[in-house]
């Protein structure tokens, strides 16, 4: 079992750390469209080819499953080859994915594009989050939140351009044009990335952090890991379903084409909701990450997951009103986006940073499990004739995870950190004292 070094954050300059963070955020912004702009393409693909929604949405599921379930393997290669090589490969595959889509005239080719995109975005996402965790051990929640926020909010910049190009030039040209742009940006930004020094360890803070570095097999034998995985699945399902289905939900609720008058601009409700949701999703990750650095991860989870659950319930009840649809969908995304900063930071706090790329890679597979439930949402809606059934189901999952954070995960982590302290004492290892946590 390895131990943490005693070097401090001050071993590198603040300028270097923030430059690395910015480069990672740029990569995440450029990779975001494959997931977050997909909902714009679904109605247009349906119109052009006449395929069923469920068959088209299988593309989204394939993408998310590949992106998430390859994360443990990507974690291994991150440690072996470093961030620059991994993100260069990710940029190439991310661009190629939409280029393949631009030639697609069958579902099979769309599915191939989804596999390529899943590999590309997975390389970018896993590498940049891992780098943020290691470059900022003293501000882990904030740094990971800003990085994940780039992915969550990145597509807000391109929602209107993509929607306009779809309307004027069609599906094929839009995929081609934006595929080349996003791939090129990632490749350029990757040239600035480098691995953090191995001697960075956290300064004293308000969140307890592991006093030993767990290997992946050790983490998998820990009950804490599986509690986090179950909570991750419960919370990510609702937001992921909204990401994939928001355009369809808006259409079925009858609010898709409602014109929102903001005095200085008028636009349809759906693109406005998508832009608002991307912004809220992006704000959520650094905001709740920063909050968790101060009050503890589990308390922050309870607050966020409760807001998400209640927001989804309200969306099911009042979503037929266009303004309620806009406000409540924004509320859901504000409370959902933080899962990617909170769970990654908690994994590093709990199991150390030496093997966190592999450990969080396995934990991140929970998103792939949740993605398998997205097509089921369509089937459930068709069977019941209403989205309320789907929304109330995922809201119950969110609220269950919220209470689990306080009453299950929090006591388990207190015991976990106490056991680590005992382990260090029994092995005669002197480490920097674990910080006082919000526990």
In a domain, 75, yes or no: yes
Inside any domain, residue 436: no
Half-sphere exposure of 253 (CA within 13 A, CB side): 27
23 domain-assigned: yes
- 218: tokens are 């050790």
Question: Which tens digit of pLDDT belongs to each residue from 78-123?
Answer: 988 989 999 999 999 999 999 999 999 999 999 999 999 999 999 9
CA 266/CA 159 separation, integer angstroms:
15
Taking the C-alpha atoms of residue 367 and residue 4, their distance in angstroms, rounded to an integer, is 30
Q: Does residue 432 sit within a domain?
A: no
Spatial distance between the Cα atoms of 3 and 16, rounded to a whole number of angstroms? 25
Structural domain includes residue 224: yes
Q: Residue 187 and residue 92: Cα distance in Å, rounded? A: 7
Residue 115 resides in a domain? yes
Total tally of structural domains belonging to the chain = 1
Token pair for residue 436?
């006082």
329 is a domain residue: yes
Which of 234-243 are b and which e, b meaning 16 or more Cβ less than 10 Å from the residue's Cβ?
bbbbbbbbbb
Spans in the chain with pLDDT lower than 70? 1-11, 199-207, 211, 242-245, 262-266, 428-439
Spatial distance between the Cα atoms of 107 and 109, rounded to a whole number of angstroms: 5
Query: Domain range holding 34?
Result: 15-193+208-426
The pLDDT value recorded for residue 31 is 93
- For residues 136 and 129, the answer to whether their CB atoms sit within 8 Å is no
Instruction: Name the β-bridge partners of 259.
Output: 268
Beta bridge partners of 261: 266
* pLDDT, position 60: 87
Q: Does residue 249 sit within a domain? A: yes
CATH of the domain at 123: 1.20.1250.20
The reported pLDDT for the residue numbered 350 is: 93
Task: Give the per-residue pLDDT at 28.
Answer: 94
């Amino acid at each position: 079992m390895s131990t943490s070094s005693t070097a401090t954050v001050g071993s590198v300059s603040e300028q270097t750390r923030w430059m690395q963070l910015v480069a990672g955020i740029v990569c995440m912004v450029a990779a975001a469209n494959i997931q977050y702009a997909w909902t714009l393409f679904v109605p247009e693909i349906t119109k052009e080819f006449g395929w069923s929604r469920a068959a088209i949405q299988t593309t989204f599921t394939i993408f998310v499953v590949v992106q998430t379930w390859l994360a443990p393997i990507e974690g291994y290669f991150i440690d072996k080859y470093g961030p620059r090589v991994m993100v260069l490969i990710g940029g190439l595959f991310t661009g190629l994915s939409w280029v393949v889509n631009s030639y697609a005239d069958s579902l099979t080719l769309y599915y191939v594009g989804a596999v390529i995109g899943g590999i590309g975005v997975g390389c970018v996402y896993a590498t940049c989050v891992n780098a943020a965790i290691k470059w900022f051990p003293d501000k882990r929640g904030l740094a990971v939140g800003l990085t994940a926020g780039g992915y969550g909010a990145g597509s807000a910049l391109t929602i209107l351009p993509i929607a306009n190009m779809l309307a004027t030039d069609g599906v094929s040209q839009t995929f081609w044009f934006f595929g080349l742009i996003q791939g090129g940006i990632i490749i350029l930004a990757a040239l600035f990335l480098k691995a953090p020094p191995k001697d960075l360890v956290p300064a004293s803070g308000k969140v307890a952090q592991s006093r030993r570095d767990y290997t992946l097999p050790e983490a998998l034998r820990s009950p804490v890991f599986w509690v986090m995985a179950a909570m991750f699945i419960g919370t990510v399902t609702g937001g992921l379903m909204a990401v994939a289905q928001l355009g369809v939900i808006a259409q079925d609720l009858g609010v898709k084409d409602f014109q929102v008058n903001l005095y200085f601009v008028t636009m349809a409700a759906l693109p406005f909701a998508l832009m608002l949701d991307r912004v809220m999703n992006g704000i959520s990750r650094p905001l709740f990450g920063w909050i968790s650095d101060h009050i503890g991860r589990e308390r922050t989870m309870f607050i966020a997951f409760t807001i998400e659950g209640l927001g989804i319930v309200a969306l099911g009840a009042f979503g037929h009103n266009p303004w309620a649809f806009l406000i409540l969908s924004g509320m859901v995304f504000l409370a959902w986006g933080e899962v990617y900063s909170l769970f990654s930071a908690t994994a590093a706090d709990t199991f150390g940073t030496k093997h966190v790329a592999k450990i969080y890679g396995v934990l991140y597979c929970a998103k792939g499990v949740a993605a398998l439930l997205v097509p089921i949402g369509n089937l459930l809606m068709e069977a019941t004739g209403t989205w309320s059934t789907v929304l109330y189901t995922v809201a119950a999952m969110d609220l269950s995870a919220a209470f689990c954070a306080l009453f299950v995960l929090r006591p388990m982590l207190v015991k976990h950190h106490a056991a680590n302290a005992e382990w260090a004492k029994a092995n005669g290892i002197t480490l920097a004292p674990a910080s006082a946590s919000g526990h």
